[in-house]
Chain A
Amino acid sequence: MEEKKYEVATLQEYGYKDYHVMQTIFKIFGRILVALIVFMLYFSIFIIFLQSINSSKSVTSFGHVTFKWYLEMFSNRQMRLAIQHTLIISISATLLSTVLGTIIAVGINSLEKKKKQRILLLNNIPLLNADIVTGISLMLVFSCLLPIFPYLFGWKTLLIAHMFFTLPYVILSVLPKLREIDPNLLDAALDLGVKPRRALWKVIVPAVKAGIFSGALLAFTMSFDDFVVSYYTTGNGFDNLSIWIYGSIGRNSLTPAVYSFSTMITLITFLFLVIVHLFQSKMVKKNGKK
C-alpha cells in the first residue's frame, strides 16, 4: 500500500482560537493559588508547632528548640483535666451519636416522603444553626429542667449538647448510603426469616459502613473542636479544653504546653490518616489483581 501524506488539521480552520498557552498559564496560576490557600489553612497550625518547641514562654520571641512543654503537658493539672474532659465527652458523644444516628437514619429512610422531609428539615436546624443560638437554646432547655434535676449542669448537659449537634452529621452521612442499598437485599433477608433487628446488623450496617465511618469522623471533629456550645452548656468545674483555653487567653496565662498538646494531636491524626490511606491503597491493589 502506498503511503499517503496527510496534512494536520488545525483549530483555526474549524473556527476556534487556540488558547493552549492561556490554558497552561491558568493551570500554573491555579496550582500556585491552591498551594497558597492550603498553606494558609495550615499556617496557624505551623505557628502552633513553632510555639510548642519554643523555649521562651513568650509568643513574640524564639529562644531555642525545646521539648520541655511536651513534658509539662502531663504535669499541668488543670490542663490535664481539661483534656480528659474533652476526650471523655468527644469520644462518648461520637460513639453514642454514631450508633444512635445510624439507627435513626434507618428509621428516617423507611418513612414516607412527607414525614421524611419534615424530620430532615428539623435535622438541619442543629447543623446550620449558629453555635451561639444552639448553645443558648440548649442552656434554656436545661435551665427549665433545673427545678427537677438541680445538679444537671456539668458532664450530662455537655454530653447531650454534643450529641445534639453531632447526630445530624451521622444521619446525613448514613442516609445517602442507605438510599443506595438495593431494597431487594433487605426483602431477601426478611424473606429468609431473619428478624428485622438482626437484619439491621447483618445486612444494613455492613452496607453503609463507609457512611457510618465518615459520619463518625465528622462527629468527632465537630465535638472535639467545639467551643461555643460547650461554653454555654457546661457547668462549674467541668471545663473542656476549649473553655479552658478561652479562659486562659482572657487571663493572658496560656501555657505553651497546650501548643504541644495541639501539635501532638495533629501529628497523631496525620499519622493515622497516612496509615489508613496506605492500607486503603494496598487493599485496592490487592482487589485489582484478582
Chain B
Amino acid sequence: MGKVIIELQDIVKKFDGQVIVDHLNLTIYENEFLTLLGPSGCGKTTTLRMIAGFEKPDEGNVIINGKIFNNLPAYARPINTVFQKYALFPHLNVLDNVAFGLRNRSFKFLLSFFNEEELKKEIIQEKEQKGQNNKKITKLDLHKKINEKIIEEAKKSIELVKLSGFENRKIDQMSGGQQQRIALARAIVNRPQILLLDEPLSALDLKLRENMQYELKEIQRKLGITFIFVTHDQQEAMTMSDRIVVMKDGTIQQLGTPKNIYNEPQNRFVATFIGESNIIRGTYLEKNKISFMDAIFDCMGYTFNDNEPVDVVIRPEDFDIIPKENAKLTGTVTSCIFRGVFYEICADVHEMEFVIHAYEEIEVGKVIGLNVDPYEISLMKVNENE
C-alpha cells in the first residue's frame, strides 16, 4: 500500500439529533480506488460530503495529507467531486464548464499550477519566433499565456473523456452520458489529489453504465489519483474497486478487497447485501470441522473456540448437486427458474429454503443431494443483535 492520504478519525455526524455517521475510522491511501458501499441512508454520502468539505463533522477529525481539515471550506481542499446529478453550470458551454475551476483561481495559484519557469520559457521562445527583441516578460504576457494554457488543459481533459469536438455545445444539448463525462473532465482538469464520485453512474442505463465503469477505472489508472466512489450497487463496487467499505447505519461493516468481502463476509448484513447467500447456524467442532444440519463438514482457514456456535455462509453457485444417496444434505426442489447462464433452484433443505445455482434444469419435487467443498464454506461469528 502507498502513502496515507486521508484519515478519518472517530467521525460522528448528526442531523437533527439523528446519528448518521457513528464513530467512523477509515484510512485511505494514495492511488487507490476505494468504494463506499451500502444501502441508502447508511451514511456513505454524508461521509463523502465531509471529505469534500460540504459538511463539518460533529466529532472527530478529517485529516488530509497529515493536516486537520475540519474547518477548511470545500474550495481550499485538494479534492474535486463528480456529483450525482452532475451539477454542470447551465449558463456555460462545455469548454467553459471544464475550464471553470482554473479560470476562477488566483493568479498566484495558476503560476505554480502551470510552473512559472516553464511558462516564461515558452513566452521567450514565442517571442524569438516572432522576432521580437523585447525579452522582458510582462504580467500581461503571463496572463495571456495562462489563459491559453487553461484552454489547452481543458481541451486535453475533454479529449480524455472522449468528447473532443463538443467544446462549444450547450449543456442542455448533451445527453446524460455525455454530461457525466463533462462532469468528470471538469473535476480532473484541476489535477486533484483525490476525486470523489457520488453515485455518478446511477442515472445512466445499464449498457452505458458498464462502459463507464470500465472507462473510470482506466482514467484512474492513467491519472494515478485516489478515487473515492460512493454507490449502492454491489456489482459496480465489485468491478471497479481496489478496496470496498461496506457501510450500514453509519458504521463500517467490513473493509477489504472485493474478493475478500465476497468470499469471507464478516456478518449477515455483508453476506446478504453482497451477492446472494445461504446462511445457516452451525457449530465449530474443532479445527477444520464444522457441523450444521445434522452433518459434519470439512472447512478451511477459520479459527473459533471449539463448540462455538457460528454462522455458515454458502454462496448459491458453490453447491454441487450430486445423487441423493451419497449426500450429507438432501432437499426437495420447490422451484427452478431459467436465469440465462444458469438455473436458479430453490430447494427445501431441513425446513430451510436454499438458493442454488446450477447449469442443468431440475424438475420441481425431485429430491437432490448437495455437496460443498471445504474452501467454499465461510464462517462468521454469531451476532445476536442481527
A residues with CB within 8 A of B: 6-11, 14-16
Q: A14-B72, A14-B76, A16-B75 are known contacts. Are A7 and B66 too (CB-CB below 8 A)?
A: yes
Q: Which listed residue, A6, A11, A16, touches B63 by the CB 8 Å rule?
A: A6
The answer for the CA separation of A276 and B247 in the assembled complex, in Å, is 42
The prevalent SS among residues of B at the interface is loop
The answer for the CA separation of A16 and B70 in the assembled complex, in Å, is 16
Residue of B nearest to A11 (CB): B76
The answer for the CA separation of A10 and B75 in the assembled complex, in Å, is 12
Taking a contact as CB atoms under 8 Å apart, the answer to whether A6 and B66 are in contact is yes
B61 within 8 A of A: yes
List residues of B (169-200) whose CB comes within 8 Å of A's CBs.
Answer: none
The answer for the CA separation of A77 and B71 in the assembled complex, in Å, is 68
B residues with CB within 8 A of A: 61, 63-73, 75-78, 105-106, 108-109
The answer for the CA separation of A221 and B61 in the assembled complex, in Å, is 53
Residue of B nearest to A15 (CB): B109
Given A7-B67, A16-B106: 15 more A-B contacts, CB < 8 Å: A6-B61, A7-B68, A8-B68, A9-B65, A9-B68, A9-B72, A10-B72, A11-B73, A11-B76, A14-B72, A14-B77, A14-B78, A15-B105, A15-B106, A16-B75
Residue of B nearest to A3 (CB): B9
Q: Which listed residue, B67, B105, B108, B109, touches A9 by the CB 8 Å rule?
A: B67
CB distance from A287 to the nearest CB of B (A): 15
* A-chain residues with CB within 8 Å of residue B76 when the two chains form the complex: 9, 11, 14, 16
* B-chain residues with CB within 8 Å of residue A10 when the two chains form the complex: 72
The answer for the CA separation of A119 and B72 in the assembled complex, in Å, is 52
* B-chain residues with CB within 8 Å of residue A9 when the two chains form the complex: 64-65, 67-69, 72, 76
Tell me which of A6, A9, A14, A15 has the highest count of chain B C-beta atoms within 10 A of its own C-beta. A9
A-B contact pairs, 7 of them (CB 8 A): A6-B61, A9-B64, A9-B72, A9-B76, A14-B78, A15-B108, A16-B75
The answer for the CA separation of A97 and B71 in the assembled complex, in Å, is 54
CB distance from B41 to the nearest CB of A (A): 16
The answer for the CA separation of A8 and B69 in the assembled complex, in Å, is 7
Q: Which listed residue, B64, B65, B68, B72, touches A11 by the CB 8 Å rule?
A: B72
The answer for the CA separation of A7 and B67 in the assembled complex, in Å, is 5
Residue of A nearest to B108 (CB): A15
* B-chain residues with CB within 8 Å of residue A6 when the two chains form the complex: 61, 63, 66-68
* B-chain residues with CB within 8 Å of residue A8 when the two chains form the complex: 67-68, 70-71
* B-chain residues with CB within 8 Å of residue A7 when the two chains form the complex: 66-68
CB distance from B73 to the nearest CB of A (A): 8
The answer for the CA separation of A16 and B76 in the assembled complex, in Å, is 7
* A-chain residues with CB within 8 Å of residue B106 when the two chains form the complex: 15-16
CB distance from A27 to the nearest CB of B (A): 15
CB distance from B28 to the nearest CB of A (A): 15
The answer for the CA separation of A6 and B70 in the assembled complex, in Å, is 12
* A-chain residues with CB within 8 Å of residue B68 when the two chains form the complex: 6-9
* B-chain residues with CB within 8 Å of residue A16 when the two chains form the complex: 75-76, 106
The answer for the CA separation of A15 and B108 in the assembled complex, in Å, is 8
The answer for the CA separation of A6 and B64 in the assembled complex, in Å, is 10
The answer for the CA separation of A10 and B65 in the assembled complex, in Å, is 13
The answer for the CA separation of A9 and B61 in the assembled complex, in Å, is 12
* A-chain residues with CB within 8 Å of residue B67 when the two chains form the complex: 6-9
The answer for the CA separation of A43 and B108 in the assembled complex, in Å, is 50
The answer for the CA separation of A16 and B105 in the assembled complex, in Å, is 9
The answer for the CA separation of A8 and B70 in the assembled complex, in Å, is 8
The answer for the CA separation of A8 and B108 in the assembled complex, in Å, is 23
Residue of B nearest to A14 (CB): B76
CB distance from A159 to the nearest CB of B (A): 43
CB distance from A38 to the nearest CB of B (A): 29
The answer for the CA separation of A6 and B68 in the assembled complex, in Å, is 6
CB distance from A11 to the nearest CB of B (A): 5
The answer for the CA separation of A9 and B108 in the assembled complex, in Å, is 19
CB distance from A13 to the nearest CB of B (A): 8
* A-chain residues with CB within 8 Å of residue B69 when the two chains form the complex: 9
The answer for the CA separation of A267 and B118 in the assembled complex, in Å, is 71
CB distance from B57 to the nearest CB of A (A): 14
* A-chain residues with CB within 8 Å of residue B72 when the two chains form the complex: 9-11, 14
* B-chain residues with CB within 8 Å of residue A11 when the two chains form the complex: 72-73, 76
6 closest pairs, A vs B, by CB?
A: A9-B67, A14-B76, A15-B109, A8-B68, A6-B68, A7-B67
CB distance from B174 to the nearest CB of A (A): 22
The answer for the CA separation of A6 and B77 in the assembled complex, in Å, is 16
